[in-house]
Amino acid sequence: MSEEYRIEHDTMGEVRVPKDALYAAQTQRAVENFPISGRTLSSHHIEICMAALGQIKRAAAIANAELGVIDSETRDAIVKGAEEVIAGKHDDQFPIDIFQTGSGTSSNMNTNEVVATLATGFKGSKVHPNDHVNASQSSNDVFPSSIHIAAYEAVEHALLPKLDQLANSLEKKADEFANIVKAGRTHLMDATPIMLGQEFSGYAAQVRKGIDRVKDAEKNLAELPLGGTAVGTGINTPEGFSERVIALIAENMDLPFRQADNHFEAQAAQDSLVEMSGALRVVAVSFVKIANDLRWASSGPRCGLGEITLPDLQPGSSIMPGKINPVLPEATVQVAAQVIGNDQTIAFAGAQGNFDLLVMLPVMAVDLLESINCLGAVAGLLAERCVDGIVANPERCLELAESSASIVTPLNRYIGYENAAKIAKHAVKEKMTVKESALDLGFVERGEISEEDLDKALNVADMTHPKASK
């Protein structure tokens, strides 16, 4: 059975629109023009608490009524329609592909049409998508503002709490493992000993610094270009609209949005989005380091390092019974790869601001929100389902620490670097401990170092902290 249609029109003529669709002609043209990826704008532009476009339409209607642009009846109808969009009641009415007109005009008009249809039903007379819902606005200031709103909200609620959760989990493990000595590794080769807790403290610090970087970038994300309309001049806006509409959004969402310091910069460039993406990339890079260390340290259980044990989450092989894999660290690295790739896209897109408008906004929106939400999700999972359940294997850690030829390093001050190197090489070649090597090469017998000093120098736990000067 073929789908039923109704006829809508815009300035270009008539268009067939699905009979029950809340959108109209301009949305339908965009659907037909951009059958590219099958991916639509993130729900963070639409759903409750993240309804950036809906929030803008709601606030604009209130501000426009206060400033005499629309009447109170029209305001109430638009507000009611926008709030339904915010509540996620009409998510299926936003069908436009992310690869569309670079200003996001198609998605802005999609929102205008949906809200106008709903408002018309509430009011009982025509509410126009351009003249009423989009009054005092342009896609050129609305859509970049929607990205800032959606991204800021997502950072506040989907990312920062999860990063804090992960940092807390790592800090707890740093305390738990504070006295477990293990082999240090540089270049993936044996190095002087370190405490397992010290390594975990480094991971926690990486995450904490990532939080600080995101918060710094967030400050510029709070700037909204609303009120600049087409090119930043504010043409077709009543005096005071910009300040009022942004204040209404900030109040309704309880977030510190403010008017852009310079509307021409705010529409012609999106450096704040590039900055935030860069901060997310650094977090992603940190995640790769942490996740890979967890994979290496838990490798085995018999033929690898085996210094820690990760929680068993699922069977690891379709052919090897009993095999368990580090699935969450692996998922984490994949998320990081996506975020780093998204950052490349966002950086390139951010360079496409020609004269008075940047025309790569939809892809920037989708990729930035994907990075924020995926990083937040995987951080929470890594903390809860992996880090919190890590168990140290202290005996194995000590065994490897004492097996490292690099523990010869404290002997430098007794017998010199070259002699210490001889002991290290002999230990590796003959598969003996450093102490056994020193004895075998006659350093104690010749009186070059006493056995007491040898034992003192080779205490691996003492090597993990600098000695106080006497």
pLDDT tens, 156-212?
Answer: 999 999 999 999 999 999 999 999 999 999 999 999 999 999 999 999 999 999 999
Same CATH topology for 11-135 and 151-223+268-395: the answer is no
Of the residues 2, 187, 318, 465, only one is catalytic, namely: 187
Is 187 in the active site? yes
Query: For domain 11-135, which architecture applies?
Result: Orthogonal Bundle (1.10)
Instruction: Please check the confidence at residue 220 and state whether its pLDDT lies above 90.
Output: yes
Among residues of the chain, what percentage have pLDDT more than 70? 97
Q: Is 188 exposed, middle or buried (0-12, 13-18, 19+ CB in 10 A)?
A: exposed
Strand 5-10 versus strand 13-18 pairing type: antiparallel
Domain ranges within the chain, ordered by starting residue? 11-135, 151-223+268-395, 404-462
Q: What is the mean pLDDT of the chain?
A: 94
Give me the pLDDT at residue 402, please: 92
Q: Please give the full DSSP string across 277-312, using - where no structure is assigned.
A: HHHHHHHHHHHHHHHHHHHHHT--SSSS--SEEPPP
Is 317 in the active site? yes
* Cis upstream peptide for 95 (omega within 30°): no
- CATH superfamily for 151-223+268-395 is Fumarase/aspartase (Central domain) (1.20.200.10)
Give me the pLDDT at residue 204, please: 98
Rounded to 10 deg, the angle between the 271-297 and 139-154 helix axes is: 30
Of the residues 37, 72, 317, 450, only one is catalytic, namely: 317
Cα–Cα dist 414/222, whole Å: 60
Instruction: Please check the confidence at residue 49 and state whether its pLDDT lies above 80.
Output: no
* CA nearest neighbour of 227 among 266, 173, 175, 198: 266
Neighbour count for residue 102 (Cβ, 10 Å): 18
CATH fold of 404-462, please? Ribonucleotide Reductase Protein R1; domain 1 (1.10.40)
Cα–Cα dist 31/16, whole Å: 12
